[in-house]
Chain A
Amino acid sequence: GAVVSQHPSWVICKSGTSVKIECRSLDFQATTMFWYRQFPKQSLMLMATSNEGSKATYEQGVEKDKFLINHASLTLSTLTVTSAHPEDSSFYICSARGGAQGETQYFGPGTRLLVL
């Protein structure tokens, strides 16, 4: 149980395009989902927290107009990187918590984004 998936697992795009990443909780209802970013050889940095049906809460320094987060259902959250630039290239990871899982967060496998 407690499986979280992400799609796509990797994406390459041209500078200036937008990229959407999906995060799904497969076997539980995720009342809260989190989005992280990880640069090479660094630790995970929380970008935003989203609760189903409400607006995401962004961490300081994260541009909410650039990283659009939607959490429209209890099993799906999306992160859209708008007008991506090479400095947005990173490993994006989502996590989810909810229901019987309590406060434990379960992570997706990550999406590697490369902006050319």
Chain B
Amino acid sequence: DAKTTQPNSMESNEEEPVHLPCNHSTISGTDYIHWYRQLPSQGPEYVIHGLTSNVNNRMASLAIAEDRKSSTLILHRATLRDAAVYYCILIISNFGNEKLTFGTGTRLTIIP
């Protein structure tokens, strides 16, 4: 599986935008970029995913570099509830056999 690299931790002030980077230099053409987050003592929560184009949903935006070797998850206005570990994961769309391989993720701390 192609590997991703994320910073171990980041801090951000409440109500400010947060940009969480992810490097995936060995990504292949069929790999989707997925982001999940895990709040303390909970199961992971799906955030967003994309293939080539930037994506927006109610939770966040995903900016994908033109060469697809990196991506950035954008939280437009961080709240205390956004404090979590954020995982960037590559998945080959194989309709039935995709496995998620969780790395260490980025622990996001929100400062009130």
Centre residue among B87, B93, B98 by max chain A CB count within 10 A: B98
Q: Mark B4-39, 1 if CB is under 8 A from A, else 0.
A: 000000000000000000000000000010101010
| Cross-chain contact A43 with B98 (CB below 8 angstroms) | no
Which residues does chain A contribute within 8 Å of B112, judged by CB atoms?
none
| Cross-chain contact A110 with B41 (CB below 8 angstroms) | yes
Which residues does chain A contribute within 8 Å of B36, judged by CB atoms?
107
B41 to chain A, nearest CB (A): 7
| Cross-chain contact B101 with A97 (CB below 8 angstroms) | no
Which residues does chain B contribute within 8 Å of A112, judged by CB atoms?
41
A89 at the interface (CB under 8 A from B): no
Centre residue among A31, A93, A105 by max chain B CB count within 10 A: A105
* Size of the chain B interface, CB-CB below 8 angstroms: 26
**Also in contact, A104 and B43, with CB within 8 A (given A34-B99, A44-B102, A49-B99):** no
CA distance A46 to B93 in the complex (A): 18
Q: Which of B65-104 contact A (CB under 8 A)?
A: 87, 91, 93-104
| Cross-chain contact A103 with B93 (CB below 8 angstroms) | yes
| Cross-chain contact A110 with B43 (CB below 8 angstroms) | yes
| Cross-chain contact B102 with A105 (CB below 8 angstroms) | no
| Cross-chain contact B42 with A110 (CB below 8 angstroms) | yes
Closest to B93 in A: A103
A106 at the interface (CB under 8 A from B): yes
- Which interface class (under 10, 10 to 19, 20 to 34, 35 or more) fits A? 20 to 34
Which residues does chain A contribute within 8 Å of B46, judged by CB atoms?
2, 104-107
| Cross-chain contact B42 with A46 (CB below 8 angstroms) | no
CA distance A97 to B104 in the complex (A): 23
CA distance A94 to B43 in the complex (A): 8
Closest to A92 in B: B43
CA distance A51 to B43 in the complex (A): 21
| Cross-chain contact B32 with A103 (CB below 8 angstroms) | yes
Chain A residues within 8 Å of B, Cβ to Cβ: 2, 4, 6, 31-32, 34, 36, 43-46, 49, 51, 91, 93-95, 97, 103-110, 112
Contacts A36-B102, A46-B99, A110-B41 supplied; 8 other A-B pairs, CB < 8 Å: A34-B99, A43-B102, A103-B32, A103-B94, A104-B34, A105-B100, A107-B36, A109-B43
